[in-house]
Amino acid sequence: MQKRPPRQPLSQQQVTDLLTGHDIQPTQQRLEIAQVLFARDQHLSADDVLKQVNQDTARASKATVYNTLGLFAAKGLIREVIVDPSRVFYDPNTCEHHHFYNVDTGELMDIDADRLALMNLPAPPTGTVADGVDVIIRIRNQATA
């Protein structure tokens, strides 16, 4: 529910702290990948990250990118967004928030949590505990009459 400042590129030190603060060993590849993810508020696929990490000299393999994104998500540093059947998006914004998903363009936009209230959240079935709530508002481009 807390407000989050607009994202801005992070210094090497800031990224390192981000990782260590989440119990993640800051290796060269992980720093590169985090740098890309946290450069700005955005929703990137694994392949997007792979391409961006490897477009200049520094490199990380496909396996490392997938492993790292999974690790970051498991450690709560980033969030997986499952909205498109063909690929997972990774979201540097872990504050509670929701999404518009444009099914025509594939564009994904944040909705601040305080702009949308959920009432009467039903309790999880016995034997299970809630892990998170995703609200996705699917939108399409207005038909040009």
Partner DNA sequence: CCAGTTTTTAGACAAAGTCCAGATCACGCG
Partner DNA sequence: CGCGTGATCTGGACTTTGTCTAAAAACTGG
Give the binding site for a second copy (CB under 8 A).
80, 82-85, 87-88, 100, 102-103, 109, 111, 115-122, 124-125, 127-142
Q: Measured from the CB of residue 27, what is the shortest distance to DNA in angstroms? A: 3
Q: Is 93 exposed, middle or buried (0-12, 13-18, 19+ CB in 10 A)?
A: middle
Which one of 40-48, 52-60, 120-128, 137-145 is the stretch in contact with Mn ion (CB under 5 A)?
40-48
**Rounded Cα gap, residues 46 and 89, in angstroms:** 7
- Which residue lies nearer to Mn ion by CB, 18 or 49? 49
- Which residue lies nearer to Mn ion by CB, 69 or 77? 69
Residue 47 touching Mn ion (CB under 5 A): yes
Quick check: 78 and 38 in contact, CB under 8 A? no
Supply the DSSP symbol for 60. Answer: -
Q: Which two tokens stand for residue 11?
A: 């210094």
Q: Measured from the CB of residue 117, what is the shortest distance to Zn ion in angstroms? A: 18
Q: What does each C-alpha distance from 145 to 3, 103, 141 come to in angstroms?
A: 39, 19, 12
Give the H or E element holding residue 19: helix 12-21
- Which residue lies nearer to Zn ion by CB, 10 or 111? 111
Q: Which does 91 bind (CB under 5 to 8 A by kind): a second copy, Zn ion, DNA, none?
A: Zn ion
- Which residue lies nearer to a second copy by CB, 39 or 139? 139
Q: Which two tokens stand for residue 105?
A: 């363009």
Give the H or E element holding residue 82: strand 79-84
Q: Measured from the CB of residue 25, what is the shortest distance to a second copy in angstroms? A: 26
Interacting residues toward DNA by CB under 7 A: 25, 27-30, 45-47, 59-64, 66-68, 70, 85-88
